[in-house]
């Protein structure tokens, strides 16, 4: 356990990096860590570098694994499954795609046009932006492993339940016809060489970095401001753990925003540090990542209003319940 704790602190929490950044802030910049500006500069530099290092390593690893599961192979795996097993597999497949909600929609369209059950594709659509290996590691690096594992489990449960409800509701008629009748090319996947997989993983790292770096900087900046400048009493009065409505407010606030989990984690970290309930902070994070306004606009182009409203309603209610549960049982994780 001592060895595991040391590895966790050095490899995930990167305490060595925090120490180096502290030296930079105090000895080079001449700022005291006891002041708000010094602590904010430390928070910003440390979190940005840590997140980018973890992202590079994790996205490369996940993308290497993903190179063995192209869309056509995924369709074949899921095509022979039905019911709970199919929805669970669809949710699990979403965990190996480190995409934001907008990037997941083209894959959702491809899977739907390939003839996969609608419930399976929605399980994938819910889990893909919400739960992936990178988010697990980042959650563990910011909070702890128990919170990270619990987050993954509830995210998968939400994805499976959401897909099951949509499947039982027989909503296929509310999918735009061009999606259902898109031509699908059944071309055998060529065996990729090690260099091909390396190039694919490297390109994925570059592509995702290009899409998320701005949101990481914004998210860490907001987190640094909340952590060191916003009074704790003000945050607590708005989103305090004692307010039953704080989870609902955090969920609804997150819907219009557009970011991924890498940009919202520092905000969640700062909110928890200010006394906001763990469930409230996670509800905000989940809402931003799973229900961003741009992704809903894109989804509206491929599904009709009744299906879109059902999807949003399921995810909002699910996030609300998850937030309440995390707040109620936070003592088990912290």
pLDDT digits (tens, 9 = 90+) for 62-85: 678 767 766 566 666 666 666 777
Q: What is the pLDDT of residue 185?
A: 42
DSSP states along 311-324: HHHHHHHHHHHHHH
Q: What is the pLDDT of residue 313?
A: 92
Q: What is the pLDDT of residue 240?
A: 62
User: In this structure, what are the phi and psi dihedrals at residue 186, rounded to the nearest 5 degrees?
Assistant: -100, 80
Q: What is the pLDDT of residue 20?
A: 94
Q: What is the pLDDT of residue 24?
A: 93
Rg (CA), the chain: 21
Q: What is the pLDDT of residue 22?
A: 93
Asked if residues 184 and 47 have their Cβ atoms less than 8 Å apart, the reply is no
CA–CA separation, 33 vs 46, rounded Å? 13
Residues of the chain with pLDDT under 50: 183-189
Q: What is the pLDDT of residue 230?
A: 64
Helix (H, G, I), strand (E, B) or coil at 175: strand
Q: Which two tokens stand for residue 134?
A: 């990178």
Q: What is the pLDDT of residue 187?
A: 41
DSSP assignment letter at 25: I
CA–CA separation, 87 vs 122, rounded Å? 8
Q: What is the pLDDT of residue 288?
A: 79
How many whole angstroms from its chain centre is CA 252?
17
Residues 6+ apart with CB under 8 A from 217: 48
CA-wise closest residue to 307 among 171, 139, 144: 171
Q: What is the pLDDT of residue 248?
A: 86
Q: What is the pLDDT of residue 224?
A: 79
Hey, what's the torsion of the CAs at 176, 105, 218, 148, to 10 degrees?
130
CA–CA separation, 107 vs 124, rounded Å? 9
Asked if residues 160 and 136 have their Cβ atoms less than 8 Å apart, the reply is no
pLDDT in tens, 164-205: 898 888 888 888 776 665 544 444 445 678 888 888 888 878
Enumerate long-range contacts of 303-312, CB under 8 Å, 24 or more apart: 303/174, 303/175, 303/176, 303/179, 304/174, 304/175, 304/176, 305/174, 306/171, 306/174, 307/166, 307/171, 307/174, 307/175, 310/165, 310/166, 310/169, 310/171, 311/122, 311/125, 311/162, 311/166
């Amino acid at each position: 356990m001592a060895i595991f704790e040391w590895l966790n602190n050095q490899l995930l929490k990167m305490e060595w990096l925090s120490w180096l950044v502290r030296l930079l802030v105090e000895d080079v910049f001449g700022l005291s860590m006891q002041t708000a500006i010094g602590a904010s500069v430390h928070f910003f530099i440390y979190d940005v570098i840590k997140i980018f290092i973890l992202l590079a390593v994790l996205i490369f690893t996940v993308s290497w694994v993903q190179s063995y599961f192209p869309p056509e192979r995924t369709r074949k795996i899921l095509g022979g499954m039905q019911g709970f097993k199919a929805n669970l597999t669809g949710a699990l497949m979403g965990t190996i795609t480190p995409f934001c909600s907008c990037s997941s929609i083209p894959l959702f369209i491809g899977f739907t046009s390939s003839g996969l059950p609608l419930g399976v594709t929605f399980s994938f659509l819910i889990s893909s932006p919400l739960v992936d290996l990178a988010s697990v590691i980042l959650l563990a690096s910011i909070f702890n492993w128990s919170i990270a594992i619990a987050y993954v489990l509830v995210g998968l449960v939400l994805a499976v339940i959401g897909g099951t409800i949509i499947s039982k509701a027989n909503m296929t008629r509310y999918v735009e016809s061009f999606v259902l009748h898109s031509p699908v090319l059944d071309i055998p996947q060529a065996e990729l060489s090690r260099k091909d997989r390396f190039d694919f993983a490297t390109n994925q790292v570059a592509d995702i970095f290009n899409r998320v770096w701005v949101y990481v900087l914004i998210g860490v900046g907001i987190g640094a401001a909340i952590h060191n400048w916003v009074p704790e009493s003000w945050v607590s009065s708005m989103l305090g753990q004692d307010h039953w409505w704080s989870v609902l407010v955090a969920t609804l606030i997150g819907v219009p925003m557009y970011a991924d989990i890498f940009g919202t984690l520092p905000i969640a970290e700062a909110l928890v540090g200010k006394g906001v309930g763990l469930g409230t902070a996670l509800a905000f994070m989940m809402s931003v990542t799973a229900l961003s306004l741009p992704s809903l606009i894109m989804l509206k182009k491929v599904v009709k209003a009744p299906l879109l409203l059902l999807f949003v309603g399921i995810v909002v209610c699910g996030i609300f319940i998850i937030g309440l549960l995390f707040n109620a049982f936070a003592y088990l994780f912290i």
